[in-house]
Chain A
Amino acid sequence: QKEVEQDPGPLSVPEGAIVSLNCTYSNSAFQYFMWYRQYSRKGPELLMYTYSSGNKEDGRFTAQVDKSSKYISLFIRDSQPSDSATYLCAMSVGNNDMRFGAGTRLTVKP
């Protein structure tokens, strides 16, 4: 079993839709949970990070962590074509050893 599981998609939605991206994990020691956005042929950029369980909101983006279920989500409201990218979840126990999901390729159609 992989430490971090993420459905690679692809996922295609119309502009304005609510997007839900998810990851599951097996290592209960993970404490930091991140979402990165990666445009084609670019390095990932950090969107949000959450420490331990709970929700975090930043504009149109909401990150949720459910440690009891080992499940994290990223919601994008009012999705825009500019949101089209690959979204990677990542998690770590401490400051090192960040583990990534496979990434979900999202396309938002105008």
Chain B
Amino acid sequence: GAVVSQHPSRVICKSGTSVKIECRSLDFQATTMFWYRQFPKKSLMLMATSNEGSKATYEQGVEKDKFLINHASLTLSTLTVTSAHPEDSSFYICSARDQQGWRSTYGYTFGSGTRLTVV
């Protein structure tokens, strides 16, 4: 089955530093990747959508200069939280799909998430 690997699973960083989260599709070509943020007991909030080789499309209210997304290949997307602050602490999850979306075997596959704590 489709596998999306997300690393790191947990990271603690100091306020003001930057953190990079990787999302890799291991056995399919992820033409589109999505980045979500999830607060405790809250739903997944879509942050941005990225298509391979293109600039990411950010949801309203998401700072593109703070959350840098790169989708340079069909198997890798990265989310960099720049100048992190305690309010950026959250659970970040990526998902990936191939070009067929729901009509493919893979549909939407999620990574295992990254818990970011900014101290």
Contacts and interface: CB of A to CB of B under 8 A. Distances in A.
Q: Do A and B associate with each other?
A: yes
Contact of A42 (B41, B42, B113): B113
Interface string B88-115: 0001010101001110000111111101
Nearest to A42: B112
A86 to B, nearest CB: 9
Given A43-B6, A49-B107, A94 B101 contact: yes
A45 B32 CA distance: 18
Interface string A47-69: 00101000000000000000000
Interface in A1-48: 4, 6, 8, 32, 34, 36, 41-46
B7 to A, nearest CB: 12
Nearest to A95: B101
Interface residues of A, number: 26
A41 B43 contact: no
Contact of B97 (A34, A51, A95): A95
Contact of B41 (A8, A46, A92, A95): A8
A44 B93 contact: yes
Contacts, number: 55
9 contacts: A43-B111, A43-B112, A45-B110, A49-B107, A51-B102, A92-B102, A95-B97, A100-B43, A100-B44
A43 B32 contact: no
B41 A105 contact: yes
B93 A101 contact: no
A88 interface: yes
Contact of A101 (B43, B49, B97, B111): B43
A85 interface: no
Nearest to A2: B43
B44 A88 contact: yes
